[in-house]
Amino acid sequence: MTRPRHVALALLALALGGFAIGTTEFVTMGLLPDVAAGIDEDIPTTGHIISSYALGVVVGAPLIVSLAARMPKRALLLWLLAGLALGNALTAVASGYVPVLLARFVAGLPHGAYFGVASLVAASLVPAGRRGRAISMVMMGLSVATVVGVPASTWLGQALSWRAAYALVVVIAVAAAALVVAFVPVVPGDPRATILSELFALREPAVIAAFLTGVVGFGGVFAMYSYIAPIVTDEVGLASGVIPLFLLVFGFGSVTGTWAAGRLADWDNVRQVVGGLVATVVVLVLFHQFVELVAVALLGVFLIGALGSIIAVGLQIRLMTAAGDAQMLGAALNHASLNIANGLGAWLGGLVIAAGHGYAAPALVGVALAAAGLVVFLLGLRWAPVRRLPQ
């Protein structure tokens, strides 16, 4: 494959697909009351559509990548963007709880596979020493969505209809597909790949360790962040109108962390993940101890957003290196692990709140999870101490 003349535009095309995915993943949380009213269900029941999307990510990541490993990668990207558009179009027109639930599952299926394929394509577009930065550019779309895409689509959904937010994602996905056609070169698939050869990567101890690091270690981020709204009102003592500011600060932290993550990965991927997890432990401890101070709370949310992105990108590259020839599957698995982490962190955080320990307590749950993820990651280095993507 020859590198395209406009590498930056090719990376922008790939990032726009990530932007569409990030928007559809998180906008449901902001529009949950509107969706609940639209399908005539209560909010707790409607919340299951968030879990349905996450289940789609977990199922789709290994399944699609394994089945389509031989397919030319640009063509696969277009099919995945088409699937994303289809899932969101179905959500926009679905009537009733079960149809919306199924539509969100369909929308989640391309998520992990897209980032797996796009990461591999992005890495192939640049010299070896810049591959971490190229992969982080793809992930940047996801981070920017938390700052721009989610607020904009939430506003649109509240102003017009919650269905309009998902229709907007369809438009973004189609635009991303057009840019992929225009700027991303044809990238052949792997003619030697089989379903079994891809799935055999799941047996590698280093892959298992990196996957579990994401599930457990990244769960530390979600243990705290899932309860940011009551933390702001009950622990920091601010009005509910300030919550969007904290969400925005987290988003800016995520963007900053994603930008830094690519450079850290090109320097030393192992130290990137280890340092990110250690720093997460320290920040969450300080957050718990001084959460009532507004400046500390804001700084803590920013740093957790940044560290979460540093860890996520680092684990994506770690999985790609540990998976050997199944790099695409490794990258896709990262997003499956992060979605499991989302549920695990929120569930464990909820348990300590229910036990009467207050809304700051999930930060200590996050400390335990991040520390456990660090131990798992260090154990995984025994099997594959690779620090950079293969040349």
Q: Summarize pLDDT for 201-246 with one digit per residue, the tens.
A: 667 778 888 889 999 988 888 788 777 778 888 888 888 777 778 8
Directed axis angle between helix 243-290 and helix 294-322, to 10°?
Answer: 90
pLDDT for 178: 97
Tell me if 350 sits within 8 A of 264, measured CB to CB.
no
Q: Give the pTM.
A: 0.81
According to the model, what pLDDT value does residue 391 have?
46
Give the model's pLDDT for residue 116.
84
Q: What is the pLDDT at residue 382?
A: 78
Exposed, middle or buried by CB within 10 Å (0-12, 13-18, 19+), for 379?
Answer: middle
So what's the pLDDT on residue 88? 96
CA-to-CA separations, 361 to 25, 219, 225, 231, in angstroms, rounded: 26, 14, 12, 10
Report the pLDDT value the prediction gives residue 324, as an integer from 0 to 100: 67
- What pLDDT does residue 307 have? 94
Based on its alpha-carbon atoms, the radius of gyration of the chain, rounded to whole angstroms, reads: 20
Amino acid, single-letter form, for residue 133: R
The residues of the chain scoring below 70 in pLDDT are 1-5, 189-202, 323-326, 383-391
